[in-house]
Structure 1
Amino acid sequence: MRKGRVTLKDIAVKLNLSPSTVSRALNDHPAIGDSTKKAVKRLAEVLDYQPNPMALGLLQKKSHTIGVIVPEITSHFFSAIITGIQDVVGPTQYNIMICISNESFEEEVTLVKKLSRMRVDGILVSPASGTKSFEHFQNLQKNEIPVVVFDRDCPGLDSDKVLVDDYSGAYQAVEYLIHSGCKKIAHLGGPLNLSTTKHRMQGYLDALEKNNMPIRKEYIQHVQGFSHNDGLKPAKKLLNQTDVPDAIFAINDNIATSAMHIAKKNGLRIPEDISIVGFDDEPHSTYFSPSLSTVWQPVYSMGMLSARILLKRLKDNNVAKNFREEIFKPELVVRASSK
Structure 2
Amino acid sequence: MKKQKRTTIYDIAKKLNLNASSVSRALSNNSNVSEATRQLILATAKELNYQQNSMASNLRKGQNQTIGVIVPHINQNFFADIIAGLEEVTYQKGYNLVICQSNESYLREIKCVNTLINQHVSCIAISICADFEDDSHLRNIKEHGIPLIQFDRVTDTLDTFKVLNDNEQASMEAVSHMIEQGYKRIALLEGPQNLNIFRQRKEGYLKALKKHNYPLVPELIKENAWTKELGAESTRQLLSLPEPPDAIFASTSDFSALGVLEVATKKGLKVPEELGICGYSNEPFTEITSPSITTIDQYSVSMGKAIANLYFQEIDFMDNGSHPQTVSIKPQLIVRSSTLRNKNRV
Q: TM-score, normalised by structure 1?
A: 0.92
Give the match for residue 240 of structure 2.
240
Distance change (3 Å), C-alpha of 1:233 and 1:319: farther
Post-superposition offset of 1:321: 4.2
Give the match for residue 230 of structure 2.
230
* CA–CA separation in structure 2 for the residues paired with 1:59 and 1:313: 26
Give the match for residue 128 of structure 2.
127
Give the match for residue 60 of structure 1.
61
* CA–CA separation in structure 1 for the residues paired with 2:317 and 2:32: 29
Distance change (3 Å), C-alpha of 1:52 and 1:317: farther
Post-superposition offset of 1:240: 1.3
Do the aligned partners of 1:70 and 1:78 also contact (CA within 8 Å) in 2? yes
Post-superposition offset of 1:319: 8.5
Post-superposition offset of 1:318: 4.0
Partner amino acid for 1:39? Answer: L
* CA–CA separation in structure 1 for the residues paired with 2:288 and 2:28: 54
SS class of match (2:200): helix
SS class of match (1:163): strand
Post-superposition offset of 1:81: 1.4
The answer on 1:323 being equivalent to 2:324 is: yes
The answer on 1:38 being equivalent to 2:67 is: no
Post-superposition offset of 1:112: 1.7
Give the match for residue 139 of structure 2.
138
Give the match for residue 89 of structure 1.
90
Aligned positions of 1:249-268 closer than 5 A:
249-251=249-251, 252-268=253-269
Structure 2 spans left out of the alignment, 5+ residues: 341-346
State the number of aligned residues. 336
Distance change (3 Å), C-alpha of 1:16 and 1:316: farther
Post-superposition offset of 1:107: 1.9
Give the match for residue 280 of structure 2.
279
Do the aligned partners of 2:318 and 2:324 also contact (CA within 8 Å) in 1? no
**Cα shift readout 1:303-322 (whole Å, capped 9, x = no counterpart):** 12212323456778848644
Of the structure 1 ranges 91-100 and 144-153, higher mean CA displacement relative to structure 2 is found in 91-100
SS class of match (1:97): strand
* CA–CA separation in structure 2 for the residues paired with 1:328 and 1:317: 22
Distance change (3 Å), C-alpha of 1:287 and 1:69: same
The answer on 1:169 being equivalent to 2:175 is: no
Post-superposition offset of 1:266: 2.5
Give the match for residue 309 of structure 1.
310
* CA–CA separation in structure 1 for the residues paired with 2:31 and 2:277: 67
**Cα shift readout 1:290-332 (whole Å, capped 9, x = no counterpart):** 0001111111121122123234567788486441211100011
* CA–CA separation in structure 2 for the residues paired with 1:187 and 1:218: 10
Distance change (3 Å), C-alpha of 1:88 and 1:234: same
Structure 1 spans left out of the alignment, 5+ residues: none
Do the aligned partners of 1:66 and 1:123 also contact (CA within 8 Å) in 2? yes
Of the structure 1 ranges 29-38 and 209-218, higher mean CA displacement relative to structure 2 is found in 29-38
* CA–CA separation in structure 2 for the residues paired with 1:216 and 1:307: 42
Post-superposition offset of 1:125: 0.6
Post-superposition offset of 1:79: 1.4
* CA–CA separation in structure 2 for the residues paired with 1:244 and 1:316: 53
Do the aligned partners of 2:161 and 2:325 also contact (CA within 8 Å) in 1? yes
* CA–CA separation in structure 2 for the residues paired with 1:70 and 1:30: 44
Do the aligned partners of 2:317 and 2:324 also contact (CA within 8 Å) in 1? no
Q: TM-score, normalised by structure 2?
A: 0.90
Partner amino acid for 2:234? Answer: P
Aligned positions of 1:89-238 closer than 5 A:
89-223=90-224, 226-238=226-238
SS class of match (2:6): coil
* CA–CA separation in structure 2 for the residues paired with 1:297 and 1:215: 27
* CA–CA separation in structure 1 for the residues paired with 2:158 and 2:152: 14
Of the structure 1 ranges 24-33 and 86-95, higher mean CA displacement relative to structure 2 is found in 86-95
Do the aligned partners of 1:141 and 1:320 also contact (CA within 8 Å) in 2? no
Do the aligned partners of 1:145 and 1:319 also contact (CA within 8 Å) in 2? no
Do the aligned partners of 1:141 and 1:319 also contact (CA within 8 Å) in 2? no
Do the aligned partners of 1:121 and 1:314 also contact (CA within 8 Å) in 2? no
* CA–CA separation in structure 1 for the residues paired with 2:256 and 2:249: 9
Of the structure 1 ranges 59-68 and 186-195, higher mean CA displacement relative to structure 2 is found in 59-68
Partner amino acid for 1:232? Answer: A
Post-superposition offset of 1:235: 1.5
Q: Say what the alpha-carbon RMSD is for the aligned residues.
A: 2.1
SS class of match (2:333): strand
Post-superposition offset of 1:189: 0.8
Give the match for residue 269 of structure 1.
270
SS class of match (1:161): strand
Give the match for residue 73 of structure 1.
74
Do the aligned partners of 2:127 and 2:153 also contact (CA within 8 Å) in 1? yes
* CA–CA separation in structure 2 for the residues paired with 1:43 and 1:315: 41
* CA–CA separation in structure 1 for the residues paired with 2:315 and 2:179: 47
**Cα shift readout 1:249-288 (whole Å, capped 9, x = no counterpart):** 1121111111111222223210011111111000110010
